[in-house]
Amino acid sequence: MTSFWICRTCAVEHASRPEVCAICADERQWVPASGQAWATLDELAAEGQAIVVDELEPDLFALQTAPGVGIGQQSKLLRTPAGSLLWDPLGFVDDDGVAAVRDLAGPAGVVAVVASHPHMFGVQVEWSRRLAGDGGPVPVLVSAADAGWVARPDAAIETWSGEREVLPGVTLSQPGGHFPGSAVVHWDAGAEGRGVLLSGDTIFANADRASASFMRSYPNHVPLSGAVALRVAGHVARRPFDRMYNNFDGVIPADARAVVLHSARRHAAWVRGDFDHLT
């Protein structure tokens, strides 16, 4: 018997199958012209989905589905001696994927599953259950401001707000913007000790690897205001970081803090009209 459903467009798990996925019906997402479609894990597995793992840098790994599920985000597994964080969990999980994560996490295991925002919830509860240890399912941390978007409630879900150090030197915080509770991860030891920011798409590392974007909706091209872009950039700039990874394969490899601040100022100037003479 099917215990939950996965939206084929965003790959977020649902306890029941509504007429339409509320996350996709929101102005930040989309419902395909062909209409709402659903899948089960078994159906996705039968279609040949698998989880591919790559090392991004020491103690940071990328997980992706192939050929791809939903939005197709790249999850991150951040490893420390005290345990690992699974960030932006995929919309698919199987035994091989769980085994790979367990192997990389080592004896300390995964201590938390966290999504940067509701588009990235994926099958977070299913990951939590399958990664369960002696203490039960892994805690799923959900921003209190965005908890209303959870479509598969579970006892493993814990709400949080403000800041939370989930592991030594690994701190969650909520600059908001894309969603009110949009979150990022600061990893002090990343980038050879210069610091890493896992930004989801709270701040999106652009294809040029030298700039970033601040948007309410990426697929529908709705920008945030200049004031919010500056606020978000100022929030993350409180801590040092030299490298930034978004929720796909985008990265700003160096000077990321300066890039984010410059990009926010550029964004604010364009929406303010400073460069209208160029249009």
Domain spanning 5-34+49-278, CATH architecture: 4-Layer Sandwich (3.60)
More confident residue, 135 or 109: 109
pLDDT of residue 278: 98
| 232-276 tens-digit pLDDT | 999 999 999 999 999 999 999 999 999 999 999 999 999 999 999
**How far lies 63's CA from each of 26, 146, 234, 240, 242, in Å?**
27, 24, 29, 26, 22
When pLDDT is cut at 50, 70 and 90, the band that residue 133 belongs to is: confident
**Residues whose CB is less than 8 angstroms from the CB of residue 115 and which lie 6 or more positions away in sequence, other chains included:** 87, 88, 89, 121, 122, 124, 142, 183, 200
The mean per-residue pLDDT over the stretch 68-86 comes to: 97
